[in-house]
Each structure stands twice: as C-alpha cells, then as structure tokens.
Amino acid sequence: MRWAILAVIGLAQLMVVLDATIVNIALPSAQADLGFSDENRQWIVTSYALAFGSLLLLGGKIGDLIGRKRVFIVGLIGFAVASAIGGAAGTFEMLVASRALQGVFGALLAPAALSLLTTTFTDPQERAKAFGIFGAIAGGGGAVGLLLGGVLTEYLSWRWCLYVNLAFAGVAALGAARLLVDAPRARPRPVLDLPGAVAASVGLFLLVFGFSRAETDGWEAAITIGSLAGALVALAAFVQIQRVSKHPLLPLSIVLDRARGGSYLAVGLSGAGMFAVFLFLTYYLQQSLGMSPIQTGVAFLPMIACLVVAAAVSTTQLLPRFGPRPLVTAGMLLGAGAMLALSGLTVDSTYAGHVLPALLPMGLGMGLIIAPSMQTATLGVPHADAGVASATVNTSQQVGGSIGTALLSTLAASAVTASASGKAPSPQVLAVAAVDGYTTAFAWAAGIFLFGAVVCGALLPSGATEHEPGAAPAMAH
C-alpha cells in the first residue's frame, strides 16, 4: 500500500520536475510554429518558474490547512488542464499563460507530494528507501525531461511535450483518489498567515524575476536592481512577520534548525550549480558535438544511473550511520571536480573521452546531495507543518536554479564576447567563443559547489540520526 502511494507521489514529482526542462528541447519548434521572437522565447520558461517559485510556500501551507490529499489531486487536475491549454496554444500569449498556470498548480502539487511522503513513511528504514527513490526523481527528472522532450519533438510535435502531462496527471490522480488518506485535521482549525503569505509570494516573485531580468537586461539595468531590492525588502518583512505572528506561514524554528537549514542551503546551491550541466552541456552536445535532441537526452542517462544508485545507497545505508555532513560535503566536492573537468572542454573534445568521465561523478555527487538533504530537511517536523517544510525544500531548489540561470548565463555571455572580440567573425571563431562561454560557466559552477562543500560542511551535523514521528530531530553534532 505505502509503496503504491510512493509510485503515485513519484509520478507527480517527476511530472513537475521534468516540466522545467522538457519544454527547453521543444522551444525551437514552438518558436517556428508560433512565430515569436528570440527575446520573448525565455518567457516560456520564466513564466513557469515565476509562478512556481513565488507560490510554493503558500501552496505548502494550503495543503497543511485544508488537507494534502485534496490539494494534491486539485494540483494534478489543474496541472493537466494547464498542459492541455498549452498544447493547444495558437498564440505565444496563450502558451505563456498556460505555462504560468502550470506553475500555479505545480506550487500546490510539489509540496503536497513531499509532505505526503514525509507523513506516509514514518518507519526509519522504509523512510530512507522512499526518500532515496524520491530524491533520485527530484535530481534526475530534469535529464529525463530532456530525453522525453527530444523523443516527442522529433517523432510527434512540440505540443506533445505538454500533452504528455495529461497521461502522468491522469494516472497519478486516479491512484491518489484510491490510495491516499488525509490525516485528521487539527481542531481548532489553523489560521492562514495572510500578511506572511503576501510578503513571501511578492518577495520570491521579485527575486526570481530580478534574476531572470539580469540574464536578459544585465545586472546594471534599473528593472534588475529594482526587482532584487524589492525582493530583499519583502523577504525581510516576511521574516519580521513570522517572528511576531501567532500563526506563522513558516515557523522560523523549521529553518533555524542546523540540520534543516543546512539541507535547504545544500538543495539551493546544488540547484544553482546543477543548472550549468543541463543548460550549457545540452548546448555543447548539440551545437559543438552535433548531437540530435534524442542523442543529447541519451547522453545524460549514465549520469542518471549514478544519481539513482547514490541516492538509494546514501539514504538507506550511509545517512543513518554517518549523518548528512559527510555525504553532502562529499557530493559537493564530486560536483566541483566534475565541473572543473568540464571546464577543460574544447571544440575538439569528445563525449566518451571528456564529457562522460565528468558526468559519472556528477551523478554520484547529486545523489549524495539531494536525497539525504530532502530527508534531513523534513526530519522531525511536526505533521502540522510538514507541507510548509516540504515547500521550503522546493523553494530552495527553484530559487537556486533561477540564481544559477542568471549568474552563469551572464558570465557565459561575457566570456563569449571577450573571446570573439577583435577577431574576424568566422564559423571557427564563433564555435571557439561559444565553447569558451560554456567552460566559463562550468568553472564558476565548480566554485559554487566548492562553496557548498565549505558551508554545508560547517552547518550540517554528522553522526547517526534518530527519529520519532513528530519529534524534533536528534543528531549527534
């Protein structure tokens, strides 16, 4: 029964995660079909990220208040409807609106999925296995999206990258309706912290928006500076509201716990660094090595295999014995090493000789980071707050990815300009400049992972973990 529930929850999580990348592969075809400009193309991706990232905390709290099963099923049905609208879109505006609507329902769905997992699996051994599988889906779903997007775009149409969600959501919703049971609701009924919800949503929206504008308009642009400044003000207000509220949206004790706080940071930093693999390596494989979309998706599979193995072993065998610190730190160092290896790519590098040897440790590293961090981030949280604690994990990953997108894309663009300046434009010069951009991003991503190793090594506890459902985590420090 519980493992059937895990299959339902895992399917929903896979749909949400792969939707962040599946559309990337379809973008050129959608652009040719609907006739929108290169400048507007980013909004197909950004509209999803903005709605999803800004509403996650609110979505998690709604699940805590009105029942996670109900919110989970509503999220699935809404996501499917939004996907159908996007698949049938006849205009750019309709496609962007459908992607934003996907983000809204994804913000209900993702925290409900993780909190249902947290409350369903309370036995430590079963919980470890469940989080290993869930962590592998969360970490590898993006690469699965690249492969599935390539297959659907090449053999059917870009529209099927959206229509495919109807199958995922339909199966998951039927399974959820039959298998899931909501925990009895607290009496008296909890109250929604409306000022906190508004401050958090506005702050997260401006943060993601500001970084997306930095990517396109530059860091000095008024809209970038204004958005990021507004985000800081709104998020500072959110923290103050949480300190004084009788019914806080996100009790600060959840974040200030050393183990959980370190786990949120680990998920965010690995999201920022991991972005470089999916985006820049996808470009490198297709544009520099001449791979097709399907070949590109297949090229990531060895990394996924390593990620799945590392996620399963780390949560079931290593985390209970050693605690999160050595695992996450080792994962960050493996990620840094893989990125340093990729920073040495040239126009003459090969997949087997240069890319594959970096992808294998990258997969192992991400498996050691994501699955243990997700389990530790929700460990010992009272059941009443499981949804908002789960939402904070998803928010960390989403905001980390957005920051990584803007930061690394800007650095890569500067490197391309510097490489090509003063040279007569030719295919060879442009090819070398493009690779210089990718390798610059990989080098900076290595720095992000190294920073993650230092910070998470300092914050996270080590030693065996003990857990009673609903109790605070007891970890040796």
**In sequence order, what are the residues at sequence separation of 6 or more whose Cβ sits closer than 8 angstroms to the Cβ of residue 364?**
306, 307, 309, 310, 331, 334
Q: State the burial class of residue 428 (Cβ atoms within 10 Å of its Cβ: 0-12, 13-18, 19+).
A: exposed
DSSP letter at 37? -
Q: How far is CA 260 from CA 62, 395, 422, in A?
A: 21, 14, 50
CA end-to-end span of the chain: 36
Structure tokens at 466: 């003990």
Q: CA 433 to CA 440: how far, in whole Å? A: 11
| pLDDT the model gives residue 475 | 39
For tokens 């009272």, the residue is 382
Q: CA 127 to CA 323: how far, in whole Å? A: 15
User: If pLDDT is split at 50, 70 and 90, which confidence band does 86 have?
Assistant: very high
| pLDDT the model gives residue 471 | 39
Q: CA 49 to CA 99: how far, in whole Å? A: 9
Q: CA 192 to CA 196: how far, in whole Å? A: 9
Q: Before 124, cis peptide (omega within 30)?
A: no
User: Could you tell me which of 171, 146, 180, 172 has the C-alpha nearest to residue 161?
Assistant: 146
Q: CA 237 to CA 245: how far, in whole Å? A: 12
Structure tokens at 161: 């990258």
Q: Are 415 and 436 in contact (CB under 8 A)?
A: yes
Helix (H) or strand (E) segment spanning residue 296: helix 293-299
Q: CA 146 to CA 298: how far, in whole Å? A: 9
State pLDDT tens for residues 65-82.
888 888 999 999 999 999
pTM of the model: 0.82
State pLDDT tens for residues 35-67.
887 667 778 877 888 888 888 888 888 887 888
State pLDDT tens for residues 199-208.
988 998 898 8
Q: CA 436 to CA 338: how far, in whole Å? A: 17
As a whole-number percent, the residues of the chain with pLDDT over 90 amount to: 30
Query: Residue 145's CB: how many other CB atoms inside 10 A?
Result: 25
State pLDDT tens for residues 374-431.
888 877 777 777 777 878 887 888 888 878 877 888 888 888 888 888 887 788 888 8
